[in-house]
Amino acid sequence: MALKMVKGSIDRMFDKNLQDLVRGIRNHKEDEAKYISQCIDEIKQELKQDNIAVKSNAVCKLTYLQMLGYDISWAAFNIIEVMSASKFTFKRIGYLAASQCFHEGTDVIMLTTNQIRKDLSSPNQYDTGVALTGLSCFVTPDLARDLANDIMTLMSHTKPYIRKKAVLIMYKVFLKYPESLRPAFPRLKEKLEDPDPGVQSAAVNVICELARRNPKNYLSLAPLFFKLMTSSTNNWVLIKIIKLFGALTPLEPRLGKKLIEPLTNLIHSTSAMSLLYECVNTVIAVLISLSSGMPNHSASIQLCVQKLRILIEDSDQNLKYLGLLAMSKILKTHPKSVQSHKDLILQCLDDKDESIRLRALDLLYGMVSKKNLMEIVKKLMIHVDKAEGTTYRDELLTKIIDICSQSNYQYITNFEWYISILVELTRLEGTRHGHLIAAQMLDVAIRVKAIRKFAVSQMAMLLDNAHLIASNTQRNGICEVLYAAAWICGEFSEHLEEANQTLEAMLRPKVTTLPGHIQAVYVQNMVKLYASILQQKEQSGEKEAAQEITQLMIERLPQFVQSADLEVQERASCILQLIKYIQKLQIKEVPVAEEVIALFAGELNPVAPKAQKKVPVPEGLDLDAWINEPPSDSESEDEKPKTIFHDEEQRHSRHRQPEIDEEELARRREARKQEQANNPFYIKSSPSPQKRYQDTPGVEHIPVVQIDLSVPLKVPGMPMSDQYVKLEEERRHKQKLEKDKKKKKQKKEKRGKHHRHNSLHTESEEDITPAHHVDIITEEMPENALPSDEDDKDPNDPYKALDIDLDKPLADSEKLPVQRHRNAETLKSPDSEAPPVEKSKKPKKKEKKHREKERDKGKKKEKEKKVVEEEEEKKGEDLDFWLSTAPPPVSTAQPQSGPEVSAAVVAEPEEVKKEEREEQQEEDEGKKSSKHKKKKHKKEKEEKSKDKKKSKKKHHSEEEATESVQNGTLDDEPLPPMSSYRLLAENPYIKMTYDIQGNLQNDSQVTVSVIFENKSTSFLKSMELNVLDSLNTKMLRPEGSSVHDGIPVPFQLPPGISNEAQFVFTLQSIVMAQKLKGTLSFIVKNDEGSTHEKLDFKLHFSCASYLITTPCYSDAFAKLLESGDLHMSSIKVDGISISFQHLLAKICFHHHFSVVERVDSCASMYSRSIQGHHVCLLVKKGENSVSIDGKCSDSTLLSNLLDEMKETLSKC
């Protein structure tokens, strides 16, 4: 056997391997393509052989050829063969090839499902790894669905190498198979706290990627990420988390407030620029989200801007670039702080690096004010002249226009200046943005009435010098401005001084070389011009001149009639006829000007861009309804009276085409002939089209107007924008002097002339009055325009499918599809090349199954929904709770610094907290009451009880009580307020209450939250808490401290203030309740001095505190009970008077259970301990008694739990 293998490999050692191929290609530089096609032929031969080594060698070469641009999809099946090799060496080659060339359209990809599944469960971690890597590149919806469950299992693999890959690939699976997101999410979340940093980082990566697309669904993870952020040292992870927070803060401003402090700390402490930069970025995001009404963050802004300045000033171009990028984000909300760095940014405009110049340009947008606009634009114009590449120059051009036109020309004080800037820009050769300039010209001329006269004169000049602009028509972007020029001159021809000259300019033969749409505008507007000239001449009685101008039109228009552009042709011939008619009238000496000018009466007003969309549909109008009855196919139609409309009859006849008789056809043929005869574009023998033009003079007869020979390159008489800058300065100076005078006499008068932006101006800017009376006409909107301004979302967004609420508990139906009928044969034979026919059937089967499942899902949805709503509420509250009350973990970690400072710090949050809590309650109340109205009683009740359970100590009873009275819909009496915080110890100075919570992530830890309340009028400080550890239960102390050391409480207490601290305890066994003795030592400081005080306490760890409320579904519950490995025990308590509802609520609240099912006075409940013991309860209520049957995987734990429960219930 071995010999045979050796022989085989000797045979193939003379095959080309990858290196030979590469070498060969390098040696055939001249005929590379030929050589490669030869190689491909060889590869095809090799692929036909049975030897897997030969095959994989061939596939390896193909992968290389793929990189060179050769399509290798024809070898897809061979690639799959190599993927299924038993040896890792070959497998890896196969998967690599697949990852390079497989995609959703690869049809054989479905054959890989079983192979991949097999590899995923391979005992060799590298087989699994290579399969995961490959799959990540070519996963399809089918593969994702079929393999999701297998990958999910791998997320808990023992090897971190596999875990991290499995976690990462889940993102791809989610994208392709969004249904998998909810079932897999809990585990993914778990991985955030994986002991291996690689896995943790992968989980962070995936969640960040998910959250980036649909941030609101991940808000509830904020506390967890916050914890990671303050504890992680991995920069990569930190960057991801910080970026994520940047995406979350806009949704939750309170989160932002919480973030500012740790982020600022990081900014101060980190040495990694990448991290610093991301921190600054997120702080900016926070500040943007807080920008309304948070004036006291100016320090943070200053810090950011200051750090960014350091980046921008750095010699490293990368940092400079990023600094500018981040700066532009600040600009949006805090332009003032950026403006102070104008010098630096203008300096960057001169940088040799184009990327940096472009970023600096972005910033300029926000730097301008009325004062400096002209100056900045002037600088930019210099850059425009200097710029080499057209892209950069075009960018400059758009930026100049952006800057000037921003917020409705807010910063322009002198529109003459602006028009001349625009005119200057038209001298740019080869720009793509001619239409932009044109649009600006039109916009300004239409909307700024006062400028029209000036604009028209400038435009006339442009038209006169059109040859300069249109000369390089091959790159004719700039000739678009002629479109605007022609229109402005025509529309506002009353302002034109030498209309004759302009008209002549527009009639020049060269115009016909312009693009059609511009010619069309020319033609239309020369009539406007003509009309106004006519009127002028008629009024002044110069009949000769009037006829001359008519003659000119008649002479020149035919060149447009011949245009190839339909629009130009149509307009020109129409107008030519009109003018011929006018000529006739003129000969008869009939005054015509009035009538001609009437053609263009009325003003065109600008219309807002969204006006059409915002026209409300009038009431009672159904746009989808038929206006007339839909035409029925029945013949009865014919009987309808023919009185309606003449042409409707015609339309009917067209509908019934097949029944047209011979006569009709003949008639039509005739008509068509006629039509063709009159169409100049039909080439035919008939000389008719030429005849039509015979009466007009030929092109060669047109007298060529002697023009443009003496025209200098600078457009004559064109004002230079620079002059305006000077003029403006003088004007402003004068204005200022005047103003100063006025000020003394009277109080400042408001002089801002803009309608819209008065409120935006700062005082200093208001001082500058525009040079003209600027009357910006606002755009027209339809009456009753809808105020909504929502942007249309892209319905094709692939990430939309992942917009899934993750906080809902999982329904039973939401499971990843598991393949049940495995193909045993393929499993057994490792080197299989199983017949593809057999395999290809499988996916179909699976699909069916999947569909069935979905049907199930539908059924269960109703039930699920109920639970979902409750849970949502709970989640929301949890987050609120974290955001508003929990002391930030940072502060716990921080050692005490000077007493005064920290005292203030503590006092403040407490106040804020209180306020917020109140707000929150109001909100909650509002939410609930509105909900209550909508929902049915039953749901309400449940919700209520749940709410109570979760409300903890923070909700005060009064509000709850009043609320239920107000609502008045409850038929049960309200629940009494419950608090899980029990008294720990109390003396005249201090009161301690505590609560114990299991830690879900760690099976041997519980967290004890202690609220310290200062009851005295003295200041309490240097509090230190110490407990006497038992063998089983120990307090978690910082490393290096002995078991006898206490833990300092991380805050001080001013009189009357309370605050909460958390202590972590580790335990081994949780089946028994524990008691720990402890002492709190503290210093009381008042006017008389300070004294040491001590307070002893006993911490009671009840068994219930090891339980974690875990929702459970009835079928899972039933399965659990059936499994039979649970121990059973029961209790009975007499003399219970409270309602069953309350009873359940109490058990849920104090003992951390959740109700699985409730039928009348019988309920099943479930909970789980931190060490994974299941605890099931069946609670039955008798007349005056309650019996509880319990089942638990540990009998001691159960009996202890039941004892505790008995105690609770007996108090009722």
DSSP secondary structure of 609-655 = TTHHHHPPPPTT--TTS-SSPPPPSSGGGGGS-TTS-HHHHHHHHHH
Q: What count of other Cβ atoms lies within 10 Å of the Cβ of residue 525?
A: 24
- Among 34, 48, 87, 736, contact with other proteins (rule: CB under 8 A): 87
Q: Tell me if 37 contacts other proteins by CB under 8 A.
A: no
Which CB sits closer to other proteins, 355 or 891? 355
Q: How far is the CB of 64 from other proteins (least distance, A)?
A: 6
896 three-class SS: coil
According to CB under 8 A, which one of 34, 48, 103, 845 is a site residue for other proteins? Answer: 103
Tell me how far apart the alpha carbons of residues 205 and 211 are, in angstroms, rounded to a whole number: 10
State in angstroms the smallest separation of the CB of 38 from other proteins.
Answer: 19
In the region spanning residues 807 to 836, those forming contacts with other proteins, defined by CB under 8 A, are none
Given the complex with other proteins, which of 20 and 190 has the nearer CB atom? 20
Question: What is the Cβ-side half-sphere exposure of residue 855, based on CA atoms within 13 angstroms?
Answer: 6
Among 49, 105, 103, residue whose Cα is nearest residue 78: 49
Please select the residue that binds other proteins; options are 42, 153, 187, 198, rule is CB under 8 A. Answer: 198
Among 208, 344, 520, 1071, binds other proteins (CB under 8 A): 208
Give the contacts of 341 (CB within 8 A, at least 6 positions apart). Answer: 305, 309, 312, 327
Among 164, 176, 257, 334, binds other proteins (CB under 8 A): 164
Q: Which stretch binds other proteins (CB under 8 A): 353-361, 769-777, 1053-1061, 1094-1102?
A: 353-361
Residues 220-259 that bind other proteins (CB under 8 A): 233-236, 239, 243
* Contact (CB, 8 A) for 902 and 1052: yes
Which residue, 194 or 864, has its beta carbon nearer to other proteins? 194
Residue type, 868: V
Q: Is 171 in the site for other proteins (CB under 8 A)?
A: yes
Neighbours of 623 (CB within 10 A): 6
Longest dimension (CA), the chain: 123
Output the six-digit token pair for 469: 């602009």
Our CB check for other proteins shows the closer of 353 and 1207 to be: 353
CB closer to other proteins out of 321 and 1019: 321
For other proteins, give the closer residue by CB, 279 or 1192.
279
The nearest distance, CB 271 to other proteins, in angstroms, is 7
Tally helices (H) and strands (E) across the chain: 49, 15
1011: left (phi over 0), alpha (psi -120 to 50) or beta: beta
Residue 88 interacts with other proteins (CB under 8 A): yes or no: yes
Site for other proteins in 357-396 (CB under 8 A): 358
- Closest CB 395 distance from other proteins, rounded Å: 10
Per CB under 8 A, the list member of 302, 317, 679, 686 interacting with other proteins is: 317
Count of residues near other proteins by CB under 8 A: 84
Helix, strand, coil share of the chain (percent; to 5) = 60, 10, 30
Query: Given the complex with other proteins, which of 95 and 1082 has the nearer CB atom?
Result: 95
Q: Does 353 bind other proteins (CB under 8 A)?
A: yes
Sign of the alpha-carbon torsion through 125, 127, 130, 133: negative
Beta strands 1127-1133; 1162-1169: pairing state: unpaired
> Closest distance between other proteins and the C-beta of residue 187, in Å?
18
Amino acid, res. 589: E
Site for other proteins in 255-274 (CB under 8 A): 271-274
Site for other proteins in 2-31 (CB under 8 A): 2, 5-6, 8-10, 12-14, 17-20, 22-23, 26
Is residue 214 close enough to count as binding other proteins by CB under 8 A? no
Q: Of 509, 520, 593, 490, nearest to 550 (Cα)?
A: 593
HEC string of 1129-1141? Answer: EEEEECCCCCCHH
Asked if residue 322 binds other proteins (CB under 8 A), the reply is: yes
CA 1102 to chain centre: 47
Closest by Cα among 1070, 1095, 972, 1084 to 1018: 1084
CB closer to other proteins out of 25 and 552: 25
Residue with tokens 């991301």: 278
Q: How far apart are CA 1134 and CA 325, in angstroms?
A: 72
> Per CB under 8 A, which region of 194-202, 476-484, 537-545, 927-935 contacts other proteins?
194-202
Q: Is 49 a residue that touches other proteins (CB under 8 A)?
A: no
Q: Is 71 in the site for other proteins (CB under 8 A)?
A: yes
Query: Residue 354, interface with other proteins (CB under 8 A)?
Result: yes
Between residue 695 and residue 754, which ones bind other proteins under the rule CB under 8 A? none
Nearest approach in angstroms of CB 234 to other proteins is 6
- By CB under 8 A, residue 165 contacts other proteins: yes
Please tell me what DSSP assigns to residue 1073: -
CB of 281 to other proteins, least distance (A): 9
- CB-nearer residue toward other proteins: 103 or 736: 103
- Give 1064's strand partners: 1007
Footprint on residues 1104-1163 left by other proteins (CB under 8 A): none
- The answer to the question of residue 352 lying near other proteins (CB under 8 A) is yes
Of residues 14 and 626, the one with the C-beta less far from other proteins: 14
Residue 263 CB-half CA count within 13 A: 29
Spatial contact of 119 and 130, defined as CB atoms under 8 Å apart: yes
The least CB distance from residue 70 to other proteins, in Å, is: 7
- Contact pick of 49, 77, 121, 133 for other proteins (by CB under 8 A): 133
The arrangement of strands across the sheet holding 1033-1035 comes to 982-986, 990-998, 1005-1014, 1058-1067, 1033-1035
Question: Pattern 137-156, binding to other proteins, x per CB under 8 A?
Answer: x-x-----------------
Q: Please, which residue, 199 or 1084, has the CB nearer to other proteins?
A: 199
Residue 1163 has φ and ψ, to the nearest 5°, of -145, 145
Q: Which parts of 595-654 interact with other proteins (CB under 8 A)?
A: none
Contact 12, 55 (CB under 8 A): no
Block residue for tokens 């011009």 = 529
42 touches other proteins by CB under 8 A: no
> By CB neighbour count within 10 A (0-12 exposed, 13-18 middle, 19+ buried), where does 796 fall?
exposed
CB of 69 to other proteins, least distance (A): 4
CB of 992 to other proteins, least distance (A): 40
